[in-house]
Amino acid sequence: MTRSAALILALFTLLLAREVHAQKTLLNVSYDPTRELYKEFNPAFIKHWRAKTGESISFKQAHGGSASQARAVIDGLEADVVTLALAGDIDAIANKRLLAGDWQKRLPQNSAPYTSTIVFLVRKGNPKGIRDWSDLVKPDVSVITPNPKTSGGARWNYLSAWGYELARTNKSEPKAKEFVNSLYKNVPVLDSGARGSTTTFVERGIGDAFISWENEAFLAVNELGRDRFEIVVPSASILAEPPVAVVDKVVDRRGTRAIAQAYLEYLYTPEGQEIAAKHYYRPRLAAVAKKYSGNFPKIKLFTIDEVFGSWSKVQKAHFDDGGIFDQIYQLK
């Protein structure tokens, strides 16, 4: 008995000793389409950090649907930083007091170091002649987009359509509601996530237009072939701002705040911005934006805050149970 106790004690000491000597490993909990971006960004930052401080660190990535990732962090996944699809998901983590309520003001530009927008993917030759949002509500057009209630990314799609019509009709909410209504009447399949919708559009051949994040559309066209699909850029679209934040509770407990903070700030440097641009995210830094301006078509962009006030307002009015999105399907 005493022997096994001693053994266990020895084992624990060994583990603890290992813990002290081991290099720090940080966890970045992110959403699906940033996989390729952080795969390139992490080694760049690790190199930068070693050059600056001499300390060796490593990074782990976790990817998944934005809301389910936020839920994992709330339920105890030890994320040092979160890089999610929308502010609402980080707000949900902040509501559980894992990070400060004013997290979005702690980094420049709404804590969104890179942005994207919403564009359409159509079949080669654009047989239905889709040019703008207004073409998506025509009765003979079939549109593919995921369910905004289960997909964070798809909420941007919905809001982009709403904002477009709102601007066109002099801020008439009933008109915008009707517009979004007829748009979703043209959606034959509501997948639960963006990748599912891509499969429906690309593999099943369903739909004339696929509403997509710009970075995803580029990826799809480059991976799946320019001979099959084209990107159509609407006249106006939303500025999607996927935000990033340090999770206070976790970094304070693990003593990783300095690294986590530097990691996120590095996203704003020319090096970080360049990597983001290479992965089809729109850079914030003017110099980098100029260098890659050929990749990103000019488009009139509006933000959530300009049109809707804030994410929490949007969530409540549009996507909560019984909200405007639900009403589309209850009317029948």
Binding flag, residue 182, other proteins (CB under 8 A): no
Binding flag, residue 191, other proteins (CB under 8 A): yes
Nearer to other proteins, 43 or 188 (CB): 188
Binding flag, residue 199, other proteins (CB under 8 A): yes
Start-end of H helices in 114-171? 152-168
| Stretch in the footprint of other proteins (CB under 8 A) among 17-25, 109-117, 131-139, 317-325 | 317-325
Instruction: Give the shortest CB-30-to-other proteins separation in angstroms.
Output: 17
DSSP label at 270? H
| Closest-CA residue to 289 (of 297, 112, 242) | 297
Tokens of 102: 């004013």
- Tell me how far apart the alpha carbons of residues 223 and 230 are, in angstroms, rounded to a whole number: 12
Tokens of 208: 């004339």
Binding flag, residue 312, other proteins (CB under 8 A): no
DSSP 205-262: ---SEEEEEHHHHHHHHHHH-TTTEEEE--SEEEEE---EEE-HHHHHHHT-HHHHHH
- Tell me how far apart the alpha carbons of residues 65 and 153 are, in angstroms, rounded to a whole number: 9
- Tell me how far apart the alpha carbons of residues 305 and 239 are, in angstroms, rounded to a whole number: 10
Binding flag, residue 65, other proteins (CB under 8 A): yes
Q: Strand 81-83 relative to strand 300-302: parallel, antiparallel, unpaired?
A: unpaired
Please select the residue that binds other proteins; options are 29, 42, 149, 153, rule is CB under 8 A: 149
- How many Cβ atoms from other residues are within 10 Å of residue 20's Cβ? 6
- Per-residue x/- mask for other proteins, residues 242 to 261, rule CB under 8 A? --------------------
- Tell me how far apart the alpha carbons of residues 50 and 58 are, in angstroms, rounded to a whole number: 11
Binding flag, residue 53, other proteins (CB under 8 A): no
Nearer to other proteins, 150 or 269 (CB): 150
Tokens of 93: 């983590």
Nearer to other proteins, 101 or 108 (CB): 101
| Stretch in the footprint of other proteins (CB under 8 A) among 1-9, 18-26, 64-72, 232-240 | 64-72
Binding flag, residue 327, other proteins (CB under 8 A): no
Binding flag, residue 224, other proteins (CB under 8 A): no
Instruction: Give the shortest CB-253-to-other proteins separation in angstroms.
Output: 23
- Total chain residues near other proteins (CB under 8 A): 30
Q: How far is CA 288 from the centre of its chain?
A: 21
Please select the residue that binds other proteins; options are 9, 171, 172, 329, rule is CB under 8 A: 329
Write out the residues near other proteins by the rule CB under 8 A: 65, 67-68, 70-71, 74, 92, 147, 149-150, 152, 188-192, 196, 199, 203-206, 315, 319-321, 326, 329-330, 332
